[in-house]
A and B are shown apart, each in its own frame.
Chain A
Amino acid sequence: MQILLVDDEKELVSTLAERLGYRGIDAHWAVTPNDAISMLSNQSYDIAVLDVQMPDMNGFELKEQMEAICPELKFIFMTGHGSEECYDEGCSQTGEAFYLVKPVEIDSLIEKLNKIMLDGGKR
C-alpha cells in the first residue's frame, strides 16, 4: 500500500509517515501541493491523505488535480476543522467516514486506509 501524505505542517506529516512505516505501510509525504503533484508523476500511490487548508491550494482543488493525473487514486481528508461548508464539501467528496478531524489516532487512520483499499471509497 503506497500512501502519500500532504500537509503544510512538516512535523506532522513526517512523524505520521514514520509511524506508518513502523506499521509496515509505505508512506511518503509532501508539505506543499506542488511537491505532491510532482511526486505523483514520479510514482504511483494508492491513497492520498490531504489536509484541507493549505497556503497555496486547498485540499479539494488538490484532489481534482491529483485525480486528473492519477484517476485510480483514493482520498482521505484530514483537517484541523474546516468551516461548515468545508465539512459539507469534504463529506460529499469522500463520505463522512473519510473526513477526519485532527488529531487523528493512528489506529483509526490505518483502519480507514484498510477500509478504503477494500471498498474503493466513495468517488
Chain B
Amino acid sequence: MAQETKNTEKKAGGTGPGTKLLIGEFLNYKRIWLLSFVLTAAFAIIPVIFFAVLDYNLTQRSLENDAEARASRLASNTWRSLAFFLDERKNALNYVVQSNSFEQLENTPQLTEILDFLHESFRGFTDIGIIDATGVQRAYAGPHGLAGKNYKDQQWFKDTMAHGISVSDVFLGFRNVPHISIALRHTTSDNTYFIIRATIEHQLPKILSEVKTSGNGDAFLINARGVLQTSSHYFGDVLKKTNIVLPLATDQTRTMTITLEDGQDLIAAFRHIPDTPFILVVLKSKKEIMSPWHQSQVTLFQYLGISISVVLLWIWAVTTYFVRRLKLLDRKRSKYFHMAEYENKMASIGRLAAGVAHEINNPLAIINEKAGLIMDMAHFKEELKKDTRLLETVSVILASVKRCSRITRQLLSFGRQTQTAPVPLTLKSVLDEVLVFLVKEAQLKNIFIDIDVPDDLPQVVGNRGKLQQVLLNIVNNAFAAMPRDGRLSISAQKTDEPFVRLDIRDSGCGISPENLKHIFEPFFSTKTNQGGTGLGLSITYGLVQELGGRIKVKSKVNEGTIFTVYLPTTIQKEE
C-alpha cells in the first residue's frame, strides 16, 4: 500500500500529460515578445520614415528646380546686359560708316579724330582700321601702325565678309590688356564692300563682376573651344583652357548640373551670345543654395530620430508589460490547473483507500469475532483453558487483526479528506496518518524519523486533507533531499500567538540561497530533468495559506533544511 502511494505521490510531483506542453508554451514568450515588438514597431515607424524620405526627395527636387530657375533667370538678365554692351559698340561703328564716306575714312587724321571721339564717348576703343574688300587695311588709327597690312586670309575677315559682322575671341592686346575686336562689313551706295574694325578694351568682366558679387555664384564667358574669355572664380584666369562640357549653342538658356574635380556640385546656366563666340556661364554652388535646407532637414531628422526612439521605447515598455502579464497569468492559470488536478488525484487516492479499507474491514471483523469467540470459549470452558498453544495462536490472530485494523483506520481517515468546513484536528493523528505511507520508504533509505509532538498541544483548525497534503509534500521533499541515511525531525510546539509551530527538519543536501528565494514560486524546480514540475512546494504554500497559516524555510547547503509551518489553533477560533 505504501509502495502504491509512493508511486502516485511521485506522479503528483512529476510530469502530468499537460506539463510538457505548458513548459513548451512558456519558452515561447521571448518569441511572442519579439514578434509583437517588431510588428508594432514596423507598423508605427515605417510610415513615418516613408513620409520623411518622400518629403526629403520632394523638397530637394523642388529646391533644385528653383535654384536652376534662378540661375537661368540670372543668366538671361546678364546676357541682356552683355548683348546691350556689344550692340552699343556695333551701333557706334555702324554710325561711323553710315555718316562717313569711304574716302573720308581712308583719311588717317580723320580716322584718328573718329577714334578719339569714340574713345571719349564709349571708352575702351584702342584702335580702328578700314579694310577694303580685298583684305588690305587702307587706313589705321591706333598705337600699332598696321596700315597696309593684308588680312585676306584671316578667318575673321572671311567671317565678316560672309556674315556682315564678327566679334573676335579675347586676346591680350595693347599693354597686355584683354581686348576684343569687332569687325563690321559696310555696303556702300555703289555696291562695294569695306570693313571697319575696332579693337576695344574688354569691359565685359565689369558687367559680370556685378553678377558675381550678387550671390555666391560665378559668372564668366567662355568660347566654344572651352577657353575662358573672362576670369572665373572656379576655373581660373582669362584665356585659360577649361574642360567644361558645353551644351549645344541655342538661343535658349540651358541649365545643367556640373561636378567639379573636388566633387563639388554646381548648378550651371549657359547662354550663347549671338554674333559672338561667347557663351555666358552662370554658376551657383549647389551646396550653398541647399545649405539652409540641409540644416532644416538635419533638424527634422533629429526630431524624427527622437520621436522614433520615444515610440520604440513606448512599444518596448508596453510589449514587455503585456507579455509579462501574459506569462504571469498563464503561470497562474497553469498553477491552478495543476492544483485542481492534484486535488483530484488526492481525492481519488482517498476514495480508493477508503474502498479498500471497507472491503477489508468486514472480513477482518468476522476474523476478530471468531477469534474472540475462541478466546471466550476458552475462558468459559475448562478443557480449552488448558490448551495454552491454542490460546497463544488465537491471541496472535487477535493482535494481527488489531494491526490490520490500525492500518485500515488510517486509510479511512486519509480518504475522509474532501470535507470542506474547517474542523478541529489533532496534529499528531494527522501526522501519523501521513507517516504511515512513508515509514516503509524511510526504512529502505535508512532514515531515522524522530517525532516530538507534545500531548497537550492545542488542536489545529483546518481541513484534514489539506493538512495531510502539506505534511506529505514537505516530508516527501525532505526524503528527496536525503538519498540515504539521514534524520527527519518533526517537532511541534505552542506559540504566544494562537498558532502551533511545526518544524520539519531534514539532514539533507540543503538549498542554495539563490534557489531558496524562489522555492515557493510555481514552476521553479531544480529537478526538471528528473521530471519535476516545480509545483509541489507552491501547492504546499497555497494550501498553508488556505489553512490560514504561514510557511517559512531555512536552509544551509550540505547541512539540511527546516520547513516551519504555523497552523491556526482552536484558540483563535474561540477568540
Query: Which A residues contact B (CB, under 8 angstroms)?
Result: 9, 11-12, 15-16, 18-19, 22, 80-84, 87-88, 101-106
Binds A, one of B176-184, B355-363, B449-457: B355-363
Cα–Cα distance between A19 and B364 once the two chains are bound (Å): 17
> In the bound complex, do residue B361 and residue A101 qualify as a contact, i.e. CB atoms below 8 Å apart?
yes
Query: Which B residues contact A (CB, under 8 angstroms)?
Result: 354, 357-359, 361-362, 364-370, 372-373, 376-377, 379-380, 401, 405, 408-409, 412, 415-416, 418-419
Return chain A residues, CB-CB under 8 Å to B362. Answer: 9, 12, 80, 102
> In the bound complex, do residue B366 and residue A19 qualify as a contact, i.e. CB atoms below 8 Å apart?
no
Interchain Cβ contacts under 8 Å between A and B, 18 examples: A9-B365, A11-B366, A11-B370, A15-B366, A18-B376, A19-B372, A19-B373, A80-B361, A80-B362, A81-B358, A81-B361, A82-B358, A84-B419, A87-B416, A101-B412, A102-B364, A103-B361, A103-B365
Cα–Cα distance between A12 and B367 once the two chains are bound (Å): 8
> In the bound complex, do residue B409 and residue A101 qualify as a contact, i.e. CB atoms below 8 Å apart?
yes
- Shortest distance between the CB of A41 and any CB in chain B (Å): 28
Pick the most buried of B364, B368, B380: most chain A CB atoms within 10 A of its CB. B368
Which residue on chain A has the smallest CB distance to residue B356? A81
Pick the most buried of B369, B370, B376: most chain A CB atoms within 10 A of its CB. B369
Given contacts A18-B373, A81-B361, 15 further A-B contacts (CB under 8 A): A12-B365, A15-B370, A19-B373, A22-B380, A81-B354, A81-B412, A84-B415, A84-B416, A88-B419, A101-B412, A102-B365, A103-B361, A103-B364, A103-B401, A105-B368
Cα–Cα distance between A104 and B367 once the two chains are bound (Å): 11
Return chain B residues, CB-CB under 8 Å to A80. Answer: 357-359, 361-362, 365
Return chain A residues, CB-CB under 8 Å to B354. Answer: 81, 83-84
Return chain A residues, CB-CB under 8 Å to B418. Answer: 84
- Shortest distance between the CB of A3 and any CB in chain B (Å): 15
- Shortest distance between the CB of A9 and any CB in chain B (Å): 6
> In the bound complex, do residue A102 and residue B361 qualify as a contact, i.e. CB atoms below 8 Å apart?
yes
Return chain A residues, CB-CB under 8 Å to B366. Answer: 9, 11-12, 15
Return chain B residues, CB-CB under 8 Å to A16. Answer: 369
- Shortest distance between the CB of A92 and any CB in chain B (Å): 13
Which residue on chain A has the smallest CB distance to residue B416? A84
Return chain A residues, CB-CB under 8 Å to B412. Answer: 81, 101
- Please name the 9 residue pairs, one residue from A and one from B, whose CB atoms are nearest each other, closest first: A81-B358, A102-B365, A103-B368, A80-B361, A15-B369, A103-B365, A80-B358, A80-B362, A102-B361
Which residue on chain A has the smallest CB distance to residue B411? A81
Return chain A residues, CB-CB under 8 Å to B368. Answer: 102-105
- Shortest distance between the CB of B362 and any CB in chain A (Å): 5
Return chain B residues, CB-CB under 8 Å to A103. Answer: 361, 364-365, 367-369, 401, 405
Cα–Cα distance between A101 and B412 once the two chains are bound (Å): 10
Return chain B residues, CB-CB under 8 Å to A22. Answer: 376-377, 379-380
Return chain B residues, CB-CB under 8 Å to A106. Answer: 369, 372
- Selected from A15, A81, A84, the residue in CB contact (under 8 A) with B357 is A81
Cα–Cα distance between A102 and B359 once the two chains are bound (Å): 11
Return chain B residues, CB-CB under 8 Å to A88. Answer: 419
Cα–Cα distance between A117 and B365 once the two chains are bound (Å): 24
Return chain A residues, CB-CB under 8 Å to B376. Answer: 18-19, 22
Cα–Cα distance between A38 and B14 once the two chains are bound (Å): 57
Return chain B residues, CB-CB under 8 Å to A82. Answer: 358
Cα–Cα distance between A18 and B370 once the two chains are bound (Å): 10
Return chain B residues, CB-CB under 8 Å to A105. Answer: 368
Pick the most buried of B359, B362, B365, B412: most chain A CB atoms within 10 A of its CB. B365
Which residue on chain B has the smallest CB distance to residue A82? B358
Which residue on chain A has the smallest CB distance to residue B412? A81
Return chain B residues, CB-CB under 8 Å to A11. Answer: 366, 369-370
Cα–Cα distance between A102 and B372 once the two chains are bound (Å): 14
Which residue on chain A has the smallest CB distance to residue B362? A80
Which residue on chain B has the smallest CB distance to residue A15? B369
Cα–Cα distance between A91 and B409 once the two chains are bound (Å): 16
- Shortest distance between the CB of A108 and any CB in chain B (Å): 12
Return chain A residues, CB-CB under 8 Å to B370. Answer: 11, 15
Return chain B residues, CB-CB under 8 Å to A101. Answer: 361, 409, 412
Which residue on chain B has the smallest CB distance to residue A81? B358
Pick the most buried of A15, A18, A103, A106: most chain B CB atoms within 10 A of its CB. A103
Cα–Cα distance between A103 and B148 once the two chains are bound (Å): 162
Return chain B residues, CB-CB under 8 Å to A84. Answer: 354, 415-416, 418-419
Cα–Cα distance between A105 and B409 once the two chains are bound (Å): 14
Return chain A residues, CB-CB under 8 Å to B409. Answer: 101
- Shortest distance between the CB of A114 and any CB in chain B (Å): 18
- Shortest distance between the CB of A53 and any CB in chain B (Å): 8
With A22-B380, A84-B419 known to touch, is A104 a contact of B365 (CB < 8 Å)?
A: yes
Cα–Cα distance between A19 and B377 once the two chains are bound (Å): 9
Return chain A residues, CB-CB under 8 Å to B359. Answer: 80
Return chain B residues, CB-CB under 8 Å to A102. Answer: 361-362, 364-365, 368, 405
Cα–Cα distance between A87 and B367 once the two chains are bound (Å): 24
Cα–Cα distance between A15 and B365 once the two chains are bound (Å): 10
Pick the most buried of B358, B370, B405: most chain A CB atoms within 10 A of its CB. B358
